[in-house]
């Protein structure tokens, strides 16, 4: 019975990894759609968000079902509770990728991103995908060294976000308020996505060490 | 033993209500700070966010501890799992109030909100507080009629949010890009706060009916 339990627990971990992989794909594709004004790619991300949501529902149902049947204690219970939280973070990251794709679609056939910001958005997309990649390793191997590294990777995202805002505030900004609103929201989507990744990494850190490695996200 | 269990469960529900009350207070105060450029009020909200965070940590620890000791099944387990999720939503709503207060502080002694938007922000603050008020009733009495009503109340928030954005896009907007960025973010904070309230109301609906009353937030 305990063995069956751990098989199911492994299955839940695998599903979390699958969610992370889907979110990475969605965010990478959304960024490409945004930067190349590719409507079909944007539509793809928008249409596929439901699969991430469904995976979350399925995963949560399995976690709760497992709690009810097996009544785990201590570290197994903590792992299951943490799974529920991670799936919520990942689902939200999927929503944010979806928002990026919707922004691309809204401005199509124009580009949502003015030329002087394509580099910054490209970097934000790249950093976000790299963060999710590293997060996957953290989740799969309970790698607390990389979990801590993600805090620094997130600093890089914050730096890019500040760079984006200062471009908007520069006297040379000639794309008006509408584009500034778009870019403010896009910047926030990438930044929040990284925040959620850091939050998941902190949960892994806590599972492994029993201690918080945290200042709260703001 | 079962009676002690239900006492503890009641205690958790009470703490959730207390969190909701703190969030309502924080958001109302942050809105006043924003509209009256009151630095002391802003600092108060910023300083007190830690109390909401601490209450969440305490509440989650109690929920998990109760799961481990009492091994609830069926509706009691669902209630505890849902408590964990509600506390996460409420904690995030507290963060958003904190963001509003930080925006007030950042522009002090100037006002972060230009005259033509004070009415809209005032309304957004009022609607947000009314939503949290109704949410409290939903949580306390498992009132699914009001839970469903919150969807409509959230539509009102979305309408205000669109009004805010169209003010920014109006040719008469003369406050430049920096203020447009501020207002875009502020609008998003209020809107997200209402989204989280709706999300909690949906959880209550699910607890009571066993069915989802939901399209996913976007």
Q: Give per-residue pLDDT as tens, A119-168.
A: 999 999 999 999 999 999 999 999 999 999 999 999 999 999 999 999 99
With CB atoms and an 8 Å threshold, state whether A181 touches B168. yes
User: How far apart are alpha carbons A209 and A20 in whole angstroms?
Assistant: 23
The answer to whether the CB of B123 falls within 8 A of the CB of B34 is no
DSSP string, B34-91: HHHT-HHHHHHHHHHHHHHHHHHHHHHHHHHHHHHHH---HHHHHHHHHHHHHHHHHH
Confidence of residue B215 (pLDDT cuts 50, 70, 90): very low
pLDDT value, residue B11: 97
User: How far apart are alpha carbons A30 and A39 in whole angstroms?
Assistant: 10
Residues in chain B: 218
What tokens were used for A197?
Answer: 């990744």
CA angle B99, B100, B105 (to 5 degrees): 90
User: How far apart are alpha carbons B212 and A69 in whole angstroms?
Assistant: 23
Nearest chain B residue (CA) to A57: B212
| pLDDT tops 60 at residue B212 | yes
Residues of chain A with pLDDT under 50: 215-218
With CB atoms and an 8 Å threshold, state whether B185 touches A181. no
Interface of B with A (CB under 8 A): 53, 64, 67-68, 71, 73-74, 77-78, 81, 84-85, 88, 95, 98-99, 102, 165, 168-169, 173, 177-178, 180-181, 184-185, 188, 216-218
Percentage of chain B exceeding pLDDT 90: 91
Cβ neighbours, 10 Å, residue B168:
21
Nearest of A112, A118, A5, A12 to residue A60 by alpha carbon: A12
For residue B163, the SS3 value is: helix
pLDDT value, residue A91: 98
| pLDDT tops 70 at residue B9 | yes
pLDDT value, residue B2: 73
Interface of A with B (CB under 8 A): 53, 64, 67-68, 71, 73-74, 77-78, 81, 84-85, 88, 95, 98-99, 102, 165, 168-169, 173, 177-178, 180-181, 184-185, 188, 216-218
What tokens were used for B172?
Answer: 């008469």
Contacts of A167 (CB under 8 A, 6+ apart): A116, A117, A120, A173
Cβ neighbours, 10 Å, residue B173:
19
Contact residues, chain B, for A185 at CB < 8 Å: 184, 188
Contacts of A90 (CB under 8 A, 6+ apart): A16, A19, A20, A23, A52, A56, A196, A200
pLDDT value, residue A213: 77
pLDDT value, residue A215: 46
Closest Cβ–Cβ partner in A178, A184, A217 for B181: A184
Confidence of residue B168 (pLDDT cuts 50, 70, 90): very high
Within a 13 Å sphere around the CA of A89, how many CA atoms are in the beta-carbon half?
24
The answer to whether the CB of A54 falls within 8 A of the CB of A122 is no
**Omega before A174 within 30 of 0, i.e. cis:** no
Contacts of B174 (CB under 8 A, 6+ apart): none
Nearest chain A residue (CA) to B97: A218
pLDDT value, residue A139: 98
Closest Cβ–Cβ partner in A95, A98, A165 for B181: A165
Question: Would you say the C-alpha torsion B213, A95, A32, B179 has a positive or negative sign?
Answer: positive
Nearest of A130, A107, A108 to residue A183 by alpha carbon: A107
Question: How do residues B69-105 score in pLDDT, each as one tens digit?
Answer: 988 888 899 999 999 999 999 999 999 999 999 999 9
| pLDDT tops 60 at residue B216 | no
User: How far apart are alpha carbons B58 and B44 in whole angstroms?
Assistant: 22
What tokens were used for A45?
Answer: 């991300």
Closest Cβ–Cβ partner in A73, A74, A98 for B218: A98
| pLDDT tops 70 at residue B174 | yes
CATH of domain B2-209: 1.20.58.220
Contact residues, chain B, for A64 at CB < 8 Å: 77-78, 81
Nearest chain A residue (CA) to B85: A85
User: How far apart are alpha carbons A154 and A53 in whole angstroms?
Assistant: 25
Closest-CA distance, B177 to chain A, in angstroms, reads 6
**Omega before A109 within 30 of 0, i.e. cis:** yes
Confidence of residue B1 (pLDDT cuts 50, 70, 90): low
What tokens were used for A132?
Answer: 């999710």
pLDDT value, residue A51: 98
User: How far apart are alpha carbons A105 and A97 in whole angstroms?
Assistant: 13
Closest Cβ–Cβ partner in A81, A88, A99 for B64: A81
With CB atoms and an 8 Å threshold, state whether A99 touches B165. no
């Amino acid at each position: 019975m305990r063995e069956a339990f751990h098989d199911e627990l492994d299955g839940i971990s695998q599903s979390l990894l699958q969610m992370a992989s889907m979110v990475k794909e969605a965010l990478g594709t959304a960024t490409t759609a945004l930067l190349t004004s590719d409507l079909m790619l944007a539509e793809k991300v928008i249409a596929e968000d439901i699969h991430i949501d469904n995976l979350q529902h399925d995963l949560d149902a399995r976690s709760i079902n497992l709690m009810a049947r097996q009544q785990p204690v201590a570290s197994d219970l903590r792992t299951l509770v943490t799974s529920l939280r991670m799936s919520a973070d990942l689902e939200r990251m999927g929503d944010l990728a979806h928002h990026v794709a919707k922004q691309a679609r809204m401005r199509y056939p124009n580009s949502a991103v003015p030329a002087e910001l394509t580099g910054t958005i490209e970097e934000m997309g790249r950093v976000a995908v790299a963060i999710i990649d590293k997060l996957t390793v953290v989740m799969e191997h309970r790698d607390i060294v990389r979990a801590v590294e993600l805090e620094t990777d997130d600093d890089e995202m914050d730096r890019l976000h500040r760079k984006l805002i200062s471009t908007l505030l520069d006297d040379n900004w000639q794309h008006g308020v509408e584009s500034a609103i778009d870019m403010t929201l896009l910047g926030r989507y990438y930044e929040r996505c990284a925040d959620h990744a850091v939050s998941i990494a902190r949960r892994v850190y806590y599972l492994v060490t029993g201690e918080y490695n945290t200042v709260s996200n703001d």
